[in-house]
Amino acid sequence: MKVSIIGATGYTGAELVKILLRHPRVEIETITSQSFAGKKISEVYPWLSTDLVCQSLDVERIVSFSSFIFLALPHGASMEVVGKLYLRSKRIVDLSADFRLDHPLVYEKWYGVAHKKKDLLKQAVYGLPELYREKIKGARLVANPGCYPTSTILSLAPLLKFDLIKEDSIIVDSKSGVTGAGRKLTLKTHFPEVNENLSAYQVGCHRHIPEIEQELAKLAQKEVKITFVPHLVPLNRGILSTCYAGLKDPPQPKDLVKAFEDFYREEPFVEILPQGCFPQVKDVVNSNRCQIGLMVDEKKRQVIVISTIDNLGKGASSQAVQNMNIMCGFEETMGLS
Amino acid sequence: MKVSIIGATGYTGAELVKILLRHPRVEIETITSQSFAGKKISEVYPWLSTDLVCQSLDVERIVSFSSFIFLALPHGASMEVVGKLYLRSKRIVDLSADFRLDHPLVYEKWYGVAHKKKDLLKQAVYGLPELYREKIKGARLVANPGCYPTSTILSLAPLLKFDLIKEDSIIVDSKSGVTGAGRKLTLKTHFPEVNENLSAYQVGCHRHIPEIEQELAKLAQKEVKITFVPHLVPLNRGILSTCYAGLKDPPQPKDLVKAFEDFYREEPFVEILPQGCFPQVKDVVNSNRCQIGLMVDEKKRQVIVISTIDNLGKGASSQAVQNMNIMCGFEETMGLS
Amino acid sequence: MKVSIIGATGYTGAELVKILLRHPRVEIETITSQSFAGKKISEVYPWLSTDLVCQSLDVERIVSFSSFIFLALPHGASMEVVGKLYLRSKRIVDLSADFRLDHPLVYEKWYGVAHKKKDLLKQAVYGLPELYREKIKGARLVANPGCYPTSTILSLAPLLKFDLIKEDSIIVDSKSGVTGAGRKLTLKTHFPEVNENLSAYQVGCHRHIPEIEQELAKLAQKEVKITFVPHLVPLNRGILSTCYAGLKDPPQPKDLVKAFEDFYREEPFVEILPQGCFPQVKDVVNSNRCQIGLMVDEKKRQVIVISTIDNLGKGASSQAVQNMNIMCGFEETMGLS
Amino acid sequence: MKVSIIGATGYTGAELVKILLRHPRVEIETITSQSFAGKKISEVYPWLSTDLVCQSLDVERIVSFSSFIFLALPHGASMEVVGKLYLRSKRIVDLSADFRLDHPLVYEKWYGVAHKKKDLLKQAVYGLPELYREKIKGARLVANPGCYPTSTILSLAPLLKFDLIKEDSIIVDSKSGVTGAGRKLTLKTHFPEVNENLSAYQVGCHRHIPEIEQELAKLAQKEVKITFVPHLVPLNRGILSTCYAGLKDPPQPKDLVKAFEDFYREEPFVEILPQGCFPQVKDVVNSNRCQIGLMVDEKKRQVIVISTIDNLGKGASSQAVQNMNIMCGFEETMGLS
């Protein structure tokens, strides 16, 4: 199958190229880059062993030669391109935020621009396979989840689905490596500023909040408002989210680990750790895995769930490929383990 | 004033030596080290510009020549030495955990050994100047607080003192640099294991919990049970604690920042950041400062308090010197800014 | 083909497991570990997705079931096991230093123990495919090169082979990530000691010197004595070697890059960068690649060659697999790109 | 004494502020910053405990109120300001490269702009106290050395002064932390690009080469051409230079360490390590110290000298204060230990 990647020279785009180059059923047809058009991507990322040359974006050319397209463009820039590709009957995974939120006004509020393809929002499927596998199978447009939402929703889904926690008690304290902030130069990501440093940012106002709350609400079948504080940590890759929630009716502690195991039993990329064990990011970096450990505090009637993913893996590019595998009827783990 | 440091070659001991060498009112008389007796401390820490030689511990010698003694021994090893020094009327700051907990059974439960100097527990003053300055002035034995407790108690003291938060709702998510784990070799602190990694540890069972709860209870004048999850982060120094708590009666958001400012108005080492600002560890590393930023979420009736300290500074050695300054009637900031 | 790995739980052993798990022609039969016998290797390295359980070393069992064996034991511990396996006609890649040096007395001098399998030294082929591919094809015992030797020899081979540099003028200034020091706990590799630090070590007396000089001498067809200074750098993986040598007769600068290109033209894992370009370690980490950039200083009649490898990749485990591929007639790049 | 700092918000400027704030004989009168005029410097660097507000550059104001001025401006921007200040009889330490090179044409060649104050070049004293203390005492304009030159010249001065090494054989392999590249945002210093990476840069063409060669030539009393390769290492602060040179007539190895000790006997900030010991950067970071270790290879008739400094300390700001102390007749170590 011939695929194209629009926006291939950001960190998520390059990671996509890396994964797709070794995917047995895929041939990369076109990669585009605004900044590096005309250059081999191996000039930008010499660790990529390929002769692929970055093109300017030419939608006509892409629709002629590719049947599957990934978009790794900044939010706002993605929706119009998606619109054109969709019209031409292509299958699409969009890694931007443009089609993740159901309601265009919510999008406008958090991203500061009006949504230009409201009609398509209804067609888009939220690309978290653990929740929406069946819908993804039939989808033509998949909105690939954000990194924090993937980490958070996987941590909390069984608890909300089984109605175990108080919906208004959820606190998510996330810690992310610096690639999560992208390749754009900022003082915050200048080496001497972030090395040997540690800080919270966008406390209570991060753009991933509405996306998380939207999906948690569907699981809970009622509105959910979370407290979410992301932190920047001096490492390249990885997210560790520590989630706290108050328990509803008394389930037994053992039940909770079992509930998670049951919920994710068939999932190839989610691992529930044994009672008393908690994950660390180095075990999931460079993979599509999510590891989850949890603990119940009976006295406080509280559960702590800790999960880890690679923000560029399950949090972005490898999850995008997992979605492609599902959409195309390939084995779901193909090229990912 | 002649001072001695017992246990000078761990990270906190060496930091004490560094600070005391430039203290204008102090002369270091003796430093002891079990592992490096007979060696200059500058052989162990070449960045220390001093000819001080490590001695084996000889209590008699120390009491003869020093009027003030710091102990930076492991917990359990400290209490007997403190006992001897106290008998000889010395003033003491003990950096171990041995005299921080009021109740010997609580100590025994969390530290696994029986307390051998129960009578002295009543004499010991908990060395957090922001709470106990007056008692410290008259104390002969000060139990220097742990790093996580310093970070946590300073974050929550105004809220509990002014009865603003629900005592059973407190969650503390702390992140610490690796010096917090000491100089002892462990796989967890082996460079390739902790570099590019991120993990929680001792989830819900860290030894600093009873110390934190004891002090918060005094502030609240009722029992307090917290949820506490420490994390290990790949940097050398610094603790950032993100604290979450449910609000009681509606104070206005502005009031809360002001409440913190009022509470700490006279404090030379605690800074309250303006509304909307949050601290980062690099601004407090190598200092005795604690920075605090906070935010109220009116809808969720919740407050988020984020604080930073240097775990070897305000979290250990520079706070010990602050205590000495208070005990000896020196200017409190002497040698610390 | 069934393979076994003896000493699977050090860093190079685990890397071997990772690579061999995805090798299309190989099945891992047995992995051994002294420290973790009875445990799944995924308990030691959770990022390894396998159910393989570590065994105690049982040579008989291994020879019964495996036709190819990797040894990743400490030097000194390897030679006797190799002896037994060799007697039983197995094909072997030994990652230790035990069979790299031609002369047992040189081995004894640098490694401090007598060599117990001197007869086998003659059978062992030095496993640097770029120099010894034909011999490796027919070998039963391959001594996998050290990380610094791989980096250095590949940097200098064309210069010595073509008789371009003065043999007594060679200076190699190498910088290595911390996994090069292994998984054994040492103060030098304790996180707070090596993080934010930089140091030279074993200046002029590193054990890889005789190995490098032996191979350079064969290329030069005369004795070669190098100056070699390794440095420890706060990153996990990667070696960058900066090599300096005086030029003999004036070749044109362009010729030198071309000489390298010619020398390595058929090599799948060595890349010569264009004139004026120099490599960085992040482009070779997690790969079997070696990148080389060079520059001639005409006035000083000197050449500077800079090369990069992953110390656990081309410097150890992936090179071991490259050797296996050659020995077994598999495609040389199989499982490695 | 009232001092001003022109260009206070780069890394070297902020370091100057930090040092001068605790200098007992100095009061900071004015600090200037183009980018942050009107803001407190503690808003830019919250770890600076001061209420100083950044001003736009107003030379008249500065000359009215300050008797001593530091300039930490980019090269090219410094010379005209220096010119005005010099005319007004101020004493000046210029941290830029503008007055380090004796010959304006050399400056123009390497820095790409014509020198506008050629007459002042003759007045400027090169601010390496270990070589030029007497001249610095009487100077009104001191050109503070670059970080690599400080590291390199101190490593080689005794060898050249005592005529011990071949002038055409010198190789300097330097490794620097990332603050050496300044606060300007570049892809090369973007955290995910430099973290877990290692690279050489400006191989053989770094701007510090003519400065080093100029000073080494004066020591050798003949032309010196060095080979110089700087490397970027993922840490914040510190330079380690590994210097290689061929020996002239046979001095005894012990003599060489002694020669260094003799040469630097009176120097408060240069330490010669015992035979067989080599320095590491963490021992000099946050100090004005330079540590030097060396080794002779008798067989190769070669000496290896390894030195460490803090690039923002002895390599820039604390050396600038050392120069001020000398110029003003203060104790040379004042405020620096």
Q: Which residue of B has its CA nearest to C187?
A: B185
Q: Which residue of C has its CA nearest to D194?
A: C282
Cβ neighbour number for residue D79 with a 10 Å cutoff: 23
State whether B98 and B154 are in the same domain.
Answer: no
DSSP string across D179-201? GGG-SS--GGGBHHHHTT--EE-
Chain C residues closer than 8 Å to A291 by CB: 46
Neighbours of chain D (3+ CB pairs under 8 A): A, B, C
Task: Tell me if D243 sits within 8 A of D305, measured CB to CB.
Answer: yes
Q: In angstroms, what separates the C-alpha of C194 from chain B's closest C-alpha? A: 7
- What is the mean pLDDT of the segment spanning A17-45? 97
The CA distance from B322 to B328, in Å, is 10
Asked if residue B20 belongs to a domain, the reply is yes
State whether A163 and A293 are in the same domain.
Answer: yes
Task: Tell me if B144 sits within 8 A of B137, measured CB to CB.
Answer: no
State whether D172 and D136 are in the same domain.
Answer: no
State whether D167 and D274 are in the same domain.
Answer: yes
State whether B28 and B111 are in the same domain.
Answer: yes
First to last CA, chain A: 20
Q: Is B147 a catalytic residue?
A: yes
State whether D69 and D151 are in the same domain.
Answer: no
> What is the percent of chain A where pLDDT is above 70?
99
Cβ-Cβ pairs closer than 8 A, A with C, add up to 28
CB contact under 8 A, B191 and C234: yes
Asked if residue A133 belongs to a domain, the reply is yes
Asked if residue B265 belongs to a domain, the reply is yes
Q: Which residue of A has its CA nearest to D192?
A: A236
pLDDT value at residue D279: 98
Per-residue pLDDT for chain B (337 aa), expressed as one digit of tens each? 999 999 999 999 999 999 999 999 999 999 999 999 999 999 999 999 999 999 999 999 999 999 999 999 999 999 999 999 999 999 999 999 999 999 999 999 999 999 999 999 999 999 999 999 999 999 999 999 999 999 999 999 999 999 999 999 999 999 999 999 999 999 999 999 999 999 999 998 999 999 999 999 999 999 999 999 999 999 999 999 999 999 998 766 568 999 999 999 999 999 999 989 999 999 999 999 999 999 998 889 999 999 999 999 999 999 999 999 999 999 999 999 8
- Check residue A187 and report its DSSP letter: G
Chain B residues closer than 8 Å to A197 by CB: 235, 238, 280-282
pLDDT value at residue C254: 66
Q: Which of C178, C183, C192 lies closest to B178 in CB terms?
A: C192
pLDDT at D253 over 70: no
For an interface test with D, give the residue of B11, B47, B282 to mutate (most D CBs within 10 A): B47
Residue B74 identity (one-letter amino acid) = P
pLDDT at D251 over 70: no
Residue A53 identity (one-letter amino acid) = V
- pLDDT tens digits, C73-116: 999 999 999 999 999 999 999 999 999 999 999 999 999 999 99
Residues of A with CB under 8 A from a CB of B: 168, 171, 173, 175, 177, 193, 195-201, 203-204, 225, 227, 229, 231, 233-238, 240, 242, 244, 278-282, 285, 295, 297, 299-300, 302, 304, 306, 308
Q: Total structural domains in chain C?
A: 2
**Residue matched to tokens 């009543």:** B122
Chain D residues closer than 8 Å to C196 by CB: 235-238, 281-282, 285
CATH value at residue D26: 3.40.50.720
Q: Which of A190, A194, A236 lies closest to D196 in CB terms?
A: A236
Tokens of C79: 């030679």
R_g over Cα of chain D:
19
Beta-bridge partner residues of D71: D6, D94
The CA distance from A289 to D121, in Å, is 63
CB contact under 8 A, A283 and C49: no
The CA distance from A133 to A137, in Å, is 6
pLDDT value at residue A254: 66
Helix (H) or strand (E) holding C307: strand C302-309
For an interface test with D, give the residue of C151, C172, C197, C239 to mutate (most D CBs within 10 A): C197
SS3 per-residue string spanning A23-86? CCCCEEEEEECCCCCCCEHHHHCCCCCCCCEEECCCHHHHHHHCCEEEECCCCCCHHHHHHHHH
Asked if residue C301 belongs to a domain, the reply is yes
CB contact under 8 A, B198 and A204: no
State whether C305 and C324 are in the same domain.
Answer: no
pLDDT value at residue B22: 93
State whether D78 and D92 are in the same domain.
Answer: yes
CB contact under 8 A, C286 and A286: yes
Q: Which of A177, A196, A235 lies closest to D236 in CB terms?
A: A196
- What is the mean pLDDT of the segment spanning D39-43? 97
**Residue matched to tokens 């020091």:** C181
The CA distances from residue A301 to A120, A251, B169, B224, C232, in Å, are 43, 10, 11, 15, 49
Neighbours of chain A (3+ CB pairs under 8 A): B, C, D
The CA distance from D326 to C164, in Å, is 51
- pLDDT tens digits, C240-293: 999 999 999 876 656 899 999 999 999 999 999 998 999 999 999 999 999 999
> What is the percent of chain B where pLDDT is above 70?
99
DSSP string across D264-295? TTT-SSEEEPPTT---BGGGTTTSS-EEEEEE
The CA distance from D38 to A108, in Å, is 35
pLDDT value at residue A255: 81
Domain extent for D68: 2-144+316-328
Q: Which of D45, D47, D196 lies closest to B287 in CB terms?
A: D47
Q: Which of A187, A234, A235 lies closest to D185 in CB terms?
A: A187
Tokens of D194: 């430099």
Chain B residues closer than 8 Å to D280 by CB: 46
Asked if residue C240 belongs to a domain, the reply is yes
The CA distance from B48 to B28, in Å, is 13
pLDDT at C317 over 70: yes
State whether A194 and A65 are in the same domain.
Answer: no
Q: In angstroms, what separates the C-alpha of C232 from chain B's closest C-alpha? A: 12
Q: At D250, is the pLDDT very low, low, confident or very high (cuts 50, 70, 90)?
A: confident
Task: Tell me if A311 sits within 8 A of A95, measured CB to CB.
Answer: no
Chain B residues closer than 8 Å to A193 by CB: 282
pLDDT value at residue A29: 97
Asked if residue B336 belongs to a domain, the reply is no
The CA distance from A310 to A289, in Å, is 8
pLDDT at A251 over 80: no
pLDDT at A64 over 80: yes
State whether C215 and C227 are in the same domain.
Answer: yes
Asked if residue B305 belongs to a domain, the reply is yes
pLDDT value at residue B252: 65
Catalytic positions of C = 147
Q: In angstroms, what separates the C-alpha of A3 from chain B's closest C-alpha? A: 32
pLDDT value at residue B281: 98
State whether D130 and D95 are in the same domain.
Answer: yes
**Residue matched to tokens 């406080």:** A300
Asked if residue B62 belongs to a domain, the reply is yes
In the set D54, D147, D243, D290, the catalytic residue is D147
Q: Which of A196, A299, A304 lies closest to B225 in CB terms?
A: A299
pLDDT value at residue B253: 58
Helices then strands, each counted (H, E), chain D: 12, 14
Q: In angstroms, what separates the C-alpha of B165 from chain A's closest C-alpha? A: 15
- pLDDT tens digits, D196-244: 999 999 999 999 999 999 999 999 999 999 999 999 999 999 999 999 9
- Check residue D9 and report its DSSP letter: S
CB contact under 8 A, A183 and D194: no
Chain C residues closer than 8 Å to A283 by CB: 45-47
CATH value at residue B246: 3.30.360.10
Burial class (CB in 10 A: 0-12, 13-18, 19+), D43: middle
State whether B122 and B28 are in the same domain.
Answer: yes
